[in-house]
């Protein structure tokens, strides 16, 4: 990050942006280092906070020990924090962020790209549940799979993880497949693999 920050500072010294919007704490660290002496306002969006991740993940949290300290410092030093929820603002205030430093802009969905009209994937008569996101344990897909037991007329499509050709070797796919088999719903769980953005919007009526 120091090298990246130095590179940004060199570029911004000759072509300064009107404002810098940093996403995630590492980007905020680089942005603040680069903008420190250039009088460029910095806006920060964390997307996730180390305190929350540590609270829920416990010993499985892979974040570096410095993350929480850096996030707290960023929340106090940037010009504005764009939080995704009021809960995040409460968390940031508990970390020392001054009152009035944050605004809430909830995560949104492009209604034009992901509307009800358009091409749809082949389907049967089952109700369809679609998950699109990273294939990691903390996303809680195991809970959705277990819930299928109580919804016998529904199926689950999971888009995310490695390309379809690499699903068989993926540890999380193996774990989730084992859970599905143990609960007798493996025939109603389908792993699609990683789906590039254009394909994802092109098949927007998957569910």
Top pLDDT among 196 and 72 is at: 72
- Asked if the model's pLDDT at residue 118 lies above 80, the reply is no
Residue 132's closest CA among 43, 62, 66, 204?
204
CATH superfamily, domain 2-104, is Glycogen Phosphorylase B; (3.40.50.2000)
Residues 131-183 have pLDDT tens digits of 988 898 888 999 999 999 999 999 999 999 999 999 999 999 999 999 999 99
Q: What percent of the chain has pLDDT over 90?
A: 69
Question: For residue 198, what pLDDT band results from cuts at 50, 70 and 90?
Answer: low
Mean pLDDT rounded to a whole number for the chain? 90
Tell the CATH topology of 127-202.
Answer: Rossmann fold (3.40.50)
* The predicted structure's pLDDT at residue 106: 92
Please state the three-class secondary structure of 85-105 as a single string.
Answer: CHHHHHHHHHCCCCCCCEEEC
pTM of the model: 0.74
Instruction: Answer yes or no: same fold for 2-104 and 127-202.
Output: yes
């Amino acid at each position: 990050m120091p090298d990246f920050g130095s590179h940004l500072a060199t570029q911004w010294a000759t072509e300064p942006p009107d404002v810098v919007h940093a996403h995630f704490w590492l980007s905020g660290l680089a942005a603040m280092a680069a903008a420190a002496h250039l009088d460029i306002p910095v806006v920060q969006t964390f997307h996730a906070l180390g305190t929350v991740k540590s609270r829920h993940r416990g010993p499985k949290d892979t974040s570096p020990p410095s993350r929480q300290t850096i996030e707290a410092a960023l929340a106090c030093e940037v010009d504005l924090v764009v939080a995704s929820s009021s809960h995040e603002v409460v968390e940031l205030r508990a970390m020392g962020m001054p009152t009035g430093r944050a605004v809430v802009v909830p995560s949104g969905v492009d209604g034009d790209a992901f509307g009800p009209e358009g091409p749809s994937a082949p389907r049967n008569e089952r109700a369809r549940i679609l998950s699109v996101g990273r294939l990691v344990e903390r996303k809680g897909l195991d809970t959705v799979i277990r819930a299928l037991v109580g919804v016998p007329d529904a199926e689950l499509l999971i888009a995310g993880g490695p390309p379809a050709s690499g699903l068989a070797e993926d540890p999380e796919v193996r774990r989730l497949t084992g859970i599905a088999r143990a609960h007798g719903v493996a025939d109603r769980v389908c792993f699609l693999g990683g789906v590039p953005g254009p394909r994802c919007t092109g098949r927007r009526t998957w569910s």
